[in-house]
Structure 1
Amino acid sequence: MNIAPNSYPRTRKRLMAAAASVAIAGAIGFAAVATGTAPVLAEAVRVEAPQVPGFADIVERVSPAVVSVKVKAKIEPAADDGSDQSDDPDGLNNLPDNPQLRRFFKEFRGFGDQNGQDQDRRRFGRRDHNNDQPRPVAQGSGFFISDDGYLVTNNHVVEEGSAFTVVMNDGKELDAKLIGTDPRTDLAVLKVDGVGKFTYVDFADDSKVRVGDWVVAVGNPFGLGGTVTAGIVSARGRDIGAGPYDDFIQIDASVNRGNSGGPTFNLNGQVVGINTAIFSPSGGSVGIAFDIPASTAKQVVQDLMKNGSVQRGWLGVEIQPVTTDIAESLGLKSEKGALVSSAQDDGPGKKAGITSGDVITQVDGKDVASPKELARLIGAYSPGKSVDVTVWRDGKSETLKVDLGKLPSSDKQASADQQQPAAPAKPDTLADLGLTVTKSDNGNGLVVTDVDPDSAAADRGIQPGDVITSVNSMEVNGTADVAKAMADAVKSGRKAVLMQITRDDTNRFVALPVAKG
């Protein structure tokens, strides 16, 4: 059959179109089959949200400078009752003089032969009493502050130790020696020698630390070295009764046993504080920990590295807080400062003219907010340093030049001249104050014989036997002196008088309200 010239192309087009239709149908059919055997799954949920910055970069940089501190000491073996057994390591001296009984106990305890001894030690972990090697007594944290091996920790971590080992971030153990300690601030400095240069960290300016700032603590809690926790500064200026220079930074980063001596970092990798104490009814972290501020630590550490100890200035006065009532009685505008309850006879303060009843308001132009602040300011100076001490006396400020002494190893107590006498038969009354008093035997002051339980005097702790030595800095030898001081206070527009009280050879001041009318 002949095909016209134009018919072949048309036929070919029809065949190709049919083939394409078959291919499309086949593809649709395959898709249907595939869908039936393996259903297509929806995509996993993913939220594109702003990413919160982490602490990994900080931790990576500072961790090599943080170490675990292991402390060992030689401990004499002791009996269950606490008695020393160094002369009787086997505990057999108190047995009756019976050879069979002694042999029985030796064999029972593994002393009969070397094999028995070794077996007993393996089974019960018994320590050889002839071995005087140091034993572990404490474990804490620390951090390097110089590339030549000086590191900081707490005094309470190392105070019982005779041998010290630091465990690096990579697990390497190095021997260290104790350079010096300062129990008053609970700081200590160790030194690792002959190993090379160390990664170290620096102290921050903690005056710029604010409540709410992020902090990171690194340490060795429960022996788990290299542990990192994070939180914020939750308070500043905490006084927890640990010592005369309490000024702790409070943080809520998790701190536990073993963190002591470890650093707390700011986001720049600088040490803002040293973990020292926790508040914990349970013994574990409840989110309240206390750090020694970097400013305190830096100064103490420098002294320890240089001298092995810290020498502080000494003013030689006993002080107490200025309450609102005391401020009112003295004409002060606020309850800031430190009230001198007594000046020690051999102290530099008394030699310079500071007397009982003065309120110390400044040291070298720096304001004194409280007795703790005064202790920190004076303690920051070296012995022999001459300082200007501003006091509030007789309603005006006065500046005295004081050459500081050296702080004694134990705080001296001023002795009072008054002896507590017995009450005479005819006491007088200070009805407005709720007190019954009598003259002292030596004529100096008034002895309190009775206190009205409903009076302000009772509320402020005045007790029978107390000796009133002065009122508003005026010596009193009779009730007339007290009445005059009260009248003068009323004329001056004051609402209270300031009484100096002596009890058990210790002076203190008590502000009592005065009645007007």
Structure 2
Amino acid sequence: MRTQQLLYAAAGVVVFVILLLIGWGLTHKPEGGTVRGATNFVSAVDRAQAATVMVTVSGSGDQETMQMGSGFVVSPDGLVVTAAHVTGRLPVVNMVFADGSVARAELAASDDASDVAVFRVTPGKPLIALSFADSNQVKAGQPVLLMGAPYGLVGTATSGIVSAVNRQIGAAPIDEDDPFAQGSLSGPVKSYIQTDAALTAGGSGGPLLNAAGQVIGMASARESRGEPGAGLAFAIPSNVVKDAVERVKNAPQQAPPPPMPQPNKR
């Protein structure tokens, strides 16, 4: 009988210790800040999905393929930005929104030096637009969200951290199909925000967001070494994108052409 009582007592002590350990684990966070994956992006994704578009560029000549990229709304009245290399200075493209609606977009400005193109759509109602954060305040290690339309899937979200800031580029590579051929990224922007958030085909031009859902960059290039969805992504800093948008907003609107003179009626 005494042996049985001792066994019950020992079992009770073990259960008590286990409960203490569980309670300690629930009330103590690991040192070093928030653990990876703990950031809640639900509200940021909800708004960003409505503001993210798929950009479609039809092939020309013998090309029957349709090039796709991503973009995002930056003003309720219809300004949308994307990476300039996606559209190649075409004056008109189509943009597909997350709700399935399609809008004809006309080029307002394109700058190959910054790889930013600004388009204008004429919405039937005010659009949900994303706001810019100061990319000079971006720090390596902060959690980020990358939105886009990879493979034509509008409103796709991937997450990660900022891997590095002010990532410099080198001279133009000999092999234009491999911007990393010389060991460093080559392109039109002088420095990038580097992230490990997945960037796949069709995602260029999508917004890179902070935890508050503000734009800190625009996806422009990736290096995966042949591993789709893996590797590193590079984003144009939001201050560069914002400057291009502000130039369009501040540009004087062109007056409509005067009406053609009417012939005198006899």
TM-score by length of 1: 0.38
Aligned residues between the structures:
206
Deviation, 1:161, is 3.6
Amino acid in the other structure paired with 1:260: S
2:39 touches 2:143 (CA, 8 Å); kept in 1? no
% identity of equivalent residues: 36
How far residue 76 of structure 1 moved from its aligned partner, in angstroms, is: 2.8
Shift of 1:243: 4.1
- The separation in 1 between residues aligned to 2:140 and 2:205, in whole angstroms, is 22
- In 2, distance between residues paired with 1:194 and 1:186? 25
Match of 1:289 among 222, 233, 255: 233
- Indicate yes or no: 2:77 matched with 1:148: yes
State the match for 2:108 in structure 1.
179
**TM-fit CA distance, 1:163:** 3.6
Contact map agreement 1:205 1:295 (CA 8 A) in 2: yes
Are 1:199 and 2:128 counterparts? yes
Aligned pairs for 1:326-341 within 5 A: none
Shift of 1:136: 5.0
- Describe the SS at the equivalent of 2:234: strand
Q: For each residue in 1:78-134, what CA deviation from the matched residue of structure 2 results, as whole angstroms up to 9, or x when unmatched?
A: 8xxxxxxxxxxxxxxxxxxxxxxxxxxxxxxxxxxxxxxxxxxxxxxxxxxxxxxxx
Match of 1:236 in 2: 165
Where do residues 301-450 of structure 1 align in structure 2 (5 Å cutoff)? 301-307=245-251
AA matched with 1:70: T
Residue 54 (structure 2) pairs with residue 68 (structure 1): yes
User: What is the match of residue 280 of structure 1?
Assistant: 224
Structure 1 residues 72 and 160, CA gap change in structure 2 (3 angstroms): farther
| Partners of 1:72 and 1:162 within 8 A in 2 | no
TM-score (norm 2): 0.71
| Cα distance, 1:137–1:163 mapped onto 2, change above 3 Å | farther
Q: Distance in 1 between matches of 2:58 and 2:250?
A: 25
The DSSP-based 3-state class of the residue aligned with 2:54 is strand
Residues 272 and 77 of structure 1: is their aligned pair in 2 closer, same or farther, counting only changes over 3 Å? closer
Is the Cα–Cα contact under 8 Å of residues 149 and 155 in structure 2 kept in the other structure? yes
Aligned-residue offset at 1:187: 0.6
**1:306: Cα distance to partner?**
4.2
Pairing of 1:435-514 with structure 2 (within 5 A):
none
Question: Secondary structure of the residue that 2:85 maps to in structure 1?
Answer: helix
- 1:260 is matched with 204
> 2:91 and 2:196 mapped to 1: Cα distance?
33
Residues of 2 paired with 1:77 and 1:279: CA distance? 29
What is the one-letter code of the residue matched to 1:252?
D
Contact 1:71–1:162, Cα closer than 8 Å, also in 2: no
Residue segments in structure 1 that go unaligned for 5+ positions in a row? 1-46, 79-134, 309-517
Secondary structure in 2 matching 1:145: strand
Quote how far apart the aligned CAs of 1:150 are: 0.2
Residue 303 of structure 1 deviates from its aligned partner by: 2.0
Question: Which whole-Å CA distance do the structure 2 matches of 1:281 and 1:160 have between them?
Answer: 28
Instruction: Provide the C-alpha distance between the structure 2 equivalents of 1:65 and 1:207, rounded to a whole number of angstroms.
Output: 23
Deviation of 1:77 (Å): 4.0
Label 1:244 to 1:142 Cα distance change in 2 as closer, same or farther (>3 A): closer
Separation in 2, partners of 1:171, 1:245: 32
Q: Matches of 2:70 and 2:79 in 1, distance apart?
A: 14
Q: Relative contact order (C-alpha < 8 Å, sep 6+): which is higher?
A: 2
> In structure 2, how many angstroms separate the alpha carbons of the residues matched to 1:194 and 1:237?
36
The whole-number CA distance in structure 1 between the counterparts of 2:188 and 2:122 is: 34
CA–CA separation in structure 2 for the residues paired with 1:288 and 1:64? 26
Change in Cα spacing, 1:136 to 1:174, as seen in structure 2 (3 Å) is farther
CA drift at 1:251: 0.5
Conserved? CA contact 2:145–2:160, under 8 Å: yes
- AA in 2 matched with 1:292: I
For 2:202, the aligned partner's letter is G
Matched residues in 2 for 1:150 and 1:58: separation? 20
Q: Which residue of 2 aligns with 1:188?
A: 117
Instruction: Give, in angstroms, the shift of residue 263 of structure 1.
Output: 0.1
- What is the identity, as a one-letter code, of the residue corresponding to 2:204? S
Post-superposition shift, 1:279?
A: 1.1
Q: Cα deviations across residues 279-327 of structure 1 (Å, max 9, x unaligned)?
A: 121062323110000111111222244459xxxxxxxxxxxxxxxxxxx
Larger-Rg structure: 1
1:220: which partner in 2?
149
Are 1:248 and 2:192 an aligned pair? yes
Q: Which amino acid aligns with 1:173?
A: V
In structure 1, C-alpha distance between the alignment counterparts of 2:115 and 2:205, rounded to whole Å: 9
Name the counterpart of 1:57. 43
When the two chains are superposed, the root-mean-square deviation of aligned CA atoms in Å is: 2.4
In structure 1, the residue corresponding to 2:44 is in which secondary structure? Answer: helix
- Between the aligned partners of 2:97 and 2:154, the Cα distance in structure 1 is 9
